Amino acid sequence: MKVVITGAAGFLGSRLADALLKPNSELCVTELVLVDTILPPSRKDPRVITLALDITTPEAARKLVDTDTDVLFHLAAVVSGHAEEDFDLGMKVNFNATRSLLEAARHRATKLRFVFTSTVGVFGGDLPPIITDQTAATPQNSYGIAKAMSELLINDYSRRGFVDGRVVRLPTVSIRAGTANRAVTSFASGIIREPLNGEVAICPVPPDQELWLSSPGSVVYNLIHAATLLSSELEKWRVINLPGISVTVRKMISSLCEVSGSKVAKLVRYEHDETISAMVGSFPSRFDNSRALRLGFRVDSNFTDVIRSYILEDLKQVSFGF
């Protein structure tokens, strides 16, 4: 099966590629095309092809979607804070490029399983206490708007048989390894990652701020699972709120304290940022996981275990110079 990943040089794209190349992967990959604006790191696997490509150029979609492409994981995006700063770039990457890829699929690969990563940032404004898959998407940020528009388009392309789309709305991913990105929720990884490296971390939101979280491991598992679902299981709407756990910043730091001691946890400092707090405050933090769990998606047990997995899987790699 030929699989393409856009945004493959990014944190999730990279993890996803590694997971797909494992011998026990749920998808049987025979060719894996990794695409990003910068050349994704190559892997010692003959199935892998890497490509540096600007997906907003007219020829990009044609290069990526071929009659023999079976699955496209479309992860490339301008993240929330960046899209808020640069409206035009955000729309171009987060919406126009998605549209081009769908058009390419329509004309060349209607059976393509088009897996799209959307966001819980499609929710905002006046919301019910618990979000379900039937809650209206009323984003209060341009990133969420572009993602919600893409969701609609993917649904219509799927209904009309132009493509076989699947949309998963990602919770905030914590703990991301590597460096901070320009997502407004970037601190949700930084306040754990940096202290574990002995560095000070700034938390721009109040301790009571609740977040809707998923570990990278669960998200990658769920992305692959989305590609394996039968389209009949998705029924009339192809958007799924991925399951997550609801955790306050205070609880995150107390979990860090529990795992690594108070000296480490004290490296987190609160420095209020009005813009970030307002945007993060508009994202909902409590969801009904039931549909996603019924469809076989996975959820983390608790945040302390998420930290423990991070230390085991990521921190040791850093120490050993990976």
Longest dimension (CA), the chain: 58
Using rule CB under 8 A, residue 124 touches a second copy: yes
What are the angstrom distances between the C-alpha of 240 and each of 155, 169, 193? 12, 6, 29
Using rule CB under 8 A, residue 155 touches a second copy: yes
Give residues 227-266 in contact with a second copy (rule: CB under 8 A): 235-237
| Distance between CA atoms of residues 199 and 34, nearest Å | 32
Q: How far is the CB of 137 from a second copy (least distance, A)?
A: 7
Q: Which of 109, 148, 170, 276 binds a second copy (CB under 8 A)?
A: 148
Q: Which structure tokens are listed for 247?
A: 């955790």
Using rule CB under 8 A, residue 41 touches a second copy: no
- How many of the chain's residues bind a second copy (CB under 8 A)? 26
Yes or no: say if 89 and 131 are a contact pair by the CB < 8 Å rule.
no
Q: Which of 55, 105, 115, 145 binds a second copy (CB under 8 A)?
A: 145
- Closest CB to a second copy among residues 132, 302: 132
Which listed range, 47-55, 150-158, 180-188, 261-269, lies at the site for a second copy (CB under 8 A)? 150-158
Using rule CB under 8 A, residue 156 touches a second copy: yes
Q: How far is the CB of 138 from a second copy (least distance, A)?
A: 5
- Amino acid at residue number 130: I
Q: Which residue has the tokens 């944190």?
A: 11
Using rule CB under 8 A, residue 118 touches a second copy: no
Yes or no: say if 169 and 119 are a contact pair by the CB < 8 Å rule.
yes
- Closest CB to a second copy among residues 138, 248: 138
Q: Which of 41, 125, 161, 296 binds a second copy (CB under 8 A)?
A: 125
Q: Which of 40, 81, 121, 139 binds a second copy (CB under 8 A)?
A: 139
Using rule CB under 8 A, residue 161 touches a second copy: no
What is the helix (H) or strand (E) element at residue 12, kind and residue range? helix 11-21
- Closest by CA position to 76, among listed 106, 104, 48, 56: 56
Q: How far is the CB of 272 from a second copy (least distance, A)?
A: 22
Yes or no: say if 41 and 69 are a contact pair by the CB < 8 Å rule.
no
Q: How far is the CB of 126 from a second copy (least distance, A)?
A: 7
Using rule CB under 8 A, residue 181 touches a second copy: no
- DSSP labels for 241-273? E---EEEEHHHHHHHHHHHH-HHHHTTEEE---
63 SS3 class: helix
Using rule CB under 8 A, residue 270 touches a second copy: no
Q: Which residues are catalytic?
A: 143
Whether residue 175 has a cis bond before it, omega within 30° of 0: yes
| Distance between CA atoms of residues 222 and 298, nearest Å | 6
Using rule CB under 8 A, residue 140 touches a second copy: yes
| Distance between CA atoms of residues 285 and 225, nearest Å | 23
Using rule CB under 8 A, residue 288 touches a second copy: no
Q: How far is the CB of 142 from a second copy (least distance, A)?
A: 5
Residue numbers at the binding site for a second copy (CB under 8 A): 87, 124-126, 128, 133-140, 142, 145, 148-149, 152-153, 155-156, 159-160, 235-237
